[in-house]
Structure 1
């Protein structure tokens, strides 16, 4: 029973740690020393889908690479979305060392200069959003946003997209759309309306965003207990990008019906899309912005919400109340991350590499019939694999085979929806390194896909 894959697992995720592909990998690609460490890891850590048991043991992480205990390098195009700066950025390490020599913890009821400087810097980059709360992880940031929305509107219902992911805690799983994370978790938090997203491939609206806007208005208008619309500005896991028209219409509808727009940019902010924040592509401003993952520079767990000063009127309610609410270490990491993005002109670098990614992947689309669609923004790209471009049947087995072929040759990425290769490199990757990684991918496509 333990080894049986659920229907949702098979359909939603291709990177399954209990699949035949994983068994073959552990048999053929892992040395004896690593196997012993993996066995020990599995002995002590709770097993869970998409995570433990693990596939390899890491010894180092530098720049765009992760390195295992045998010295093998992988280009990390997964990175758990924390690697905007790459791994172990020297300026960030220096800043954290300096902070360790000063203040390491800030007890509740006290503040510290590092947290204040971070808040000042972050809000200077989010015009119209002036107040923040810090928290150690993205799920908690979304939880704070939901609590704040209830306090502001007096309404408890939330609208979200099918297949959306906003975090793993029970409250956030309740409002997210991915069914695999809700399995065996009922009863969940009530009052959630899930709607189809305006996706560009295999979409229920057949690429007609007007229908998506119509349906959103229908949902918002019919229920006066809806207080929040929670959405990923850009869908991270399979790189779905709504149009500016959709987001401007959604913003207007939220204003019309008195609903807060909560944008979850936990994995996609901080330059991933070529803008510091993805919502900047669409000329809108959310009511609450959720940040996390890369905010800590890939070293310190750090997240935050940013919102409007007019909503700062609930000092009688604990919205966050987290032990590390004003962590000087987390604030140092977040402040330095923002500074590095500016100082090293990473946004310009991402826009340059975006053109390279787009050209290469378009070439793949023309050459390999297994590719049904390519889409992306900045350095977030998805390659959708299909058995047939007409029927759009998912090529799930092929996606997993390509992933393991790439892993063998030093390229790691996530498979989403069972058949989408998500490519998410460090923003600091060089054009030469990016070209090298894409050669590994093309070789795998040639080997696995049929003529």
Structure 2
């Protein structure tokens, strides 16, 4: 890709652009797990729209439903009006997702992004409880709007707010102290001590796997302890499943591993199935204390996204096949990565299901591995507080050959950057 071909982006697009700097090419088409650029180079996608494309690019089942809907002059922009597309989505969510899991949630359409869902969840928790503070966790990421930033850990992202980020208190995530400090000991003590100066929070917001934070995985017992602590003290539990929901860790919801039932759940990214903007807030019925129009947004009724979401749920979540496939692939990825890093000093792995992280003691190596992989036709990104983790988010639907090809490119890239251990 020549500099001239990229000039218009440099000249006209804001400096805030990010991914295009890591992947300096102009993409033209995409299908399944692959993207193609103007030079007819093909790239295997282990990024999947930051988790928004769990079913791959231009999934044919979803595309067919979308094209049929558009061709029939179906509603595109609906705000919160009742439409056939919305009714079919709500019925499908109820019948295929909530009822089989014995979950009783109302559904709110807060706006098109995960940050919209998080903002709505925080507002609702404060409204219902009458309290202001929300507890979050170290290395958390919940979005780039002010409320979401207040419960996000990354200092650089928080600094972009330009104003104080208040009414949020960070707590140590599972493993933050390398398991040398009792989990929740301090939190329980100050919550129960009337002289601690610690106000009881409205809610706790948590990711069961912190994607942007470095693929930090909370143990099921840690999540159960947190849920019990919240329930016994009248604190609402919000699970942010924006990136890890929709099957990324295996089951549809990432919290199913722990056997807990959050009070509020936020979903976005792959809930539309096709990369179309869409978000949901799931809330227990007794928490649905909104006044009409109290939280709204112009693009909360993206009906084409409702259509593709319904098609995705019907195609992939009417049975357990995708969940079982993801769990099996997750085990295969974990075992393969362990073999890849064997013999290399200062590298470890972690993950759950089909999200995996390769952790480098030398953070610069993670970026070098990603750049080397790109040169060889594989898209992967870094995450973590120092960009020390190579994060893998391949489409859940990719083939075994594609998975092996990507892991092979990754192995070659690690060996080139860190020295061949063979």
In the superposition, the TM-score normalised over structure 2's length comes to 0.91
Task: Report matched runs for 1:225-264 at 5 Å.
Answer: 225-237=200-212, 238-264=214-240
Looking at structure 2, the residues matched to 406 and 107 of structure 1 have their Cα atoms a distance apart, in angstroms, of: 42
* Aligned equivalent of 1:23: none
Looking at structure 1, the residues matched to 80 and 158 of structure 2 have their Cα atoms a distance apart, in angstroms, of: 36
Structure 2 unaligned residues grouped into runs of 5+: none
* Aligned equivalent of 1:187: 163
* Aligned equivalent of 2:388: 419
- 1:411-444 Cα shifts (integer Å, max 9, x gaps): 1111112211111101011111111111111111
* Aligned equivalent of 1:13: none
1:177 CA drift (Å) = 1.2
Looking at structure 1, the residues matched to 342 and 173 of structure 2 have their Cα atoms a distance apart, in angstroms, of: 27
Q: Which moved more, 1:351-360 or 1:278-287?
A: 351-360
Q: Which moved more, 1:140-149 or 1:73-82?
A: 73-82
How many aligned positions are there?
A: 404
* Aligned equivalent of 2:352: 377
Cα 1:137–1:425 change in 2 (3 A) is same
Residue in structure 2 matching 1:163, options 124, 135, 139: 139
- 1:305-331 Cα shifts (integer Å, max 9, x gaps): 111111123325612x11122332121
Cα 1:105–1:396 change in 2 (3 A) is same
In the alignment, is residue 435 of structure 1 matched against residue 404 of structure 2?
yes
Q: Is the 8 A contact 1:130 1:308 kept in 2?
A: yes
1:379 CA drift (Å) = 0.6
Task: Report matched runs for 1:47-446 at 5 Å.
Answer: 47-48=15-16, 50-51=18-19, 53=21, 55-79=24-48, 80-100=50-70, 101-108=72-79, 110-124=81-95, 125-126=97-98, 127-134=102-109, 135-199=111-175, 203=176, 205-208=177-180, 211-218=182-189, 220-221=191-192, 222=196, 223-237=198-212, 238-316=214-292, 318-319=294-295, 321-342=296-317, 345-371=321-347, 373-386=348-361, 395-417=362-384, 418-446=387-415
In the superposition, the TM-score normalised over structure 1's length comes to 0.85
- 1:72-92 Cα shifts (integer Å, max 9, x gaps): 111111122111101100111
1:49 CA drift (Å) = 6.0
Q: Is the 8 A contact 2:239 2:265 kept in 1?
A: yes
Looking at structure 2, the residues matched to 190 and 433 of structure 1 have their Cα atoms a distance apart, in angstroms, of: 45
1:51 CA drift (Å) = 4.1
Cα 1:58–1:216 change in 2 (3 A) is farther
- 1:391-415 Cα shifts (integer Å, max 9, x gaps): xxxx122222211111111111111
- 1:334-388 Cα shifts (integer Å, max 9, x gaps): 21221222268321211221121121111123232241x21111110011112xx
* Aligned equivalent of 1:391: none
Looking at structure 1, the residues matched to 80 and 266 of structure 2 have their Cα atoms a distance apart, in angstroms, of: 24
RMSD: 1.9
Cα 1:245–1:91 change in 2 (3 A) is same
Q: Is the 8 A contact 1:111 1:326 kept in 2?
A: no
